[in-house]
Amino acid sequence: MSRPTSVTKSDLDRAMQCMIKAGLRIVEVVVEPRGVRIITEPVAKPQLSEEGDGLPEWPTG
């Protein structure tokens, strides 16, 4: 079994800079043995229907 590729600090810095330039706000960075996860704030809240069933409205017309 081969060893997983390690992520360097420069790899992480580059990814975070790209996310910030794209307008995303980084909330958390999780470093695990198998890799790194960068968690951002949700981009937009889903629009709920008037019934409040949790599903977005289907466009009409």
Mean pLDDT, contiguous 10-residue spans, the chain (61 residues): 76 94 93 88 70 66 63
Q: Is 60 domain-assigned?
A: no
Structure tokens given for 1: 């079994």
Q: Is 59 domain-assigned?
A: no
Q: Is 28 domain-assigned?
A: yes
User: 46: which DSSP letter?
Assistant: P
Q: Is 55 domain-assigned?
A: no
Range of the domain at 26: 9-40
Backbone angles phi, psi at 11, to 5 degrees: -60, -45
The predicted pLDDT at position 10 comes to: 92
**Cβ contact 40:19 at 8 Å:** yes
Q: Is 17 domain-assigned?
A: yes
Q: Is 30 domain-assigned?
A: yes
The predicted pLDDT at position 57 comes to: 67
Q: Is 48 domain-assigned?
A: no
The predicted pLDDT at position 58 comes to: 75
The predicted pLDDT at position 39 comes to: 93
Number of folded domains in the chain? 1
Q: 58 in helix, strand or coil?
A: coil
**Cβ contact 15:8 at 8 Å:** no
